[in-house]
């Protein structure tokens, strides 16, 4: 058993024990009911088949909360020191974060996403493998807990816990690191979210599955900055 698998199983076990209780896992992640990640046709995503050129976009733990699923690929595995949680998948190279910029709350919607994972590099980041927000130039490192690398953001992106099931190579989201940002996000965009999802729907739980699609196919315009 390699270390990564151990961490995954361990986190899963703790999650099971703590189910239904308040937050407070060792990894700082608050539990929410798990949701299996599926593709646009409803088939479970396979961790070993995820593309590395861009992030996948899914919603979790509520219908209105966008999250990135990123296959870091050669960009490197999470070193486990920063990320909460460490990467998942057989290679430990899958990470997930809430796709809301912690600076001034820019997020991907159907029309536009000014925040994206720039696998190939970008003018703003100056190197590959960073999450960049074009609105005010914040750059986050997804291989290191999405800590801020440069720009005005003061907080890292909010981590999402992924759980990998080696038996069928599927992925589930099982928790996020704190809900304060989500509360602010819901307040700031309430009217927009009602328009997009319907009254109250944006704050309902996503249910058993969450559809993950490439960001480029989710948002009409994804500016490269």
Residues engaged in binding another protein (CB under 8 A): 103-106, 112, 114, 123, 134-137, 152, 184, 187-188, 221, 223-225
CB of 135 to another protein, least distance (A): 4
CA dist 37 and 187 (Å) reads 27
Using the minimum distance from each CB to another protein, give the nearer residue, 53 or 123.
123
**Shortest spacing between CB 151 and another protein, in angstroms:** 8
If the CB atoms of residues 128 and 166 are measured against another protein, the closer one turns out to be: 128
Q: Which is nearer to another protein, 103 or 161 (CB)?
A: 103
State in angstroms the smallest separation of the CB of 133 from another protein.
9
Q: Specify whether the CB–CB gap between 136 and 151 falls below 8 A.
A: yes
Which one, 75 or 114, has the nearer CB to another protein? Answer: 114
CA distance 29 to 162: 11
**Cα dihedral: 166, 77, 69, 104 (round 10):** 150
Choice between 171 and 222, CB closer to another protein: 222
Judged by beta carbon, residue 35 or residue 193, the one nearer another protein is 193
The Cα angle at residue 53 between residues 27 and 11, in degrees rounded to 5: 15
Instruction: Report CA torsion sign: 145, 8, 208, 56.
Output: positive
Distance of closest approach, residue 113 Cβ to another protein, in angstroms: 9
Q: How far is the CB of 137 from another protein (least distance, A)?
A: 6
Return the number of the residue (1 or 111) whose C-beta is nearest another protein: 111
In whole angstroms, the minimum distance from the beta carbon of 183 to another protein comes to: 8
Neighbouring C-alpha atoms within 13 Å toward the C-beta of 137: 6
Compute the least distance from the CB of residue 215 to another protein, in Å: 14
Contact 212, 123 (CB under 8 A): no
């Amino acid at each position: 058993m390699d270390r990564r698998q151990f961490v995954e199983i361990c986190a899963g076990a703790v999650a099971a024990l703590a189910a239904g209780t308040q937050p407070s896992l060792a990894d700082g992640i608050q539990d929410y009911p798990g949701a299996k990640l599926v593709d646009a046709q409803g088939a479970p995503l396979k961790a070993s088949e995820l593309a590395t050129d861009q992030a996948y976009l899914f919603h979790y733990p509520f219908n209105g909360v966008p999250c990135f699923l990123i296959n870091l690929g050669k960009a490197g595995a999470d070193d486990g020191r920063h990320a909460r949680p460490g990467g998942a998948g057989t290679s430990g190279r899958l990470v997930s974060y809430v796709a809301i910029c912690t600076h001034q709350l820019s997020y991907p919607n159907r029309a536009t996403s000014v925040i994206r994972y720039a696998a190939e590099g970008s003018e703003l980041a100056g190197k590959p493998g960073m999450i960049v927000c074009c609105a005010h130039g914040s750059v986050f490192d997804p291989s290191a807990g999405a800590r801020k690398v440069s720009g005005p953001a003061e907080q890292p992106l909010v981590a999402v816990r992924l759980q990998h099931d080696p038996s069928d190579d599927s992925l589930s989201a099982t928790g996020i690191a704190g809900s304060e940002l989500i509360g602010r996000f819901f307040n700031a965009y309430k009217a927009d979210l009602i328009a997009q999802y319907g009254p109250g729907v944006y704050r309902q739980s996503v249910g058993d599955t969450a559809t993950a699609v490439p960001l480029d196919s989710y948002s009409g315009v994804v500016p490269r900055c």
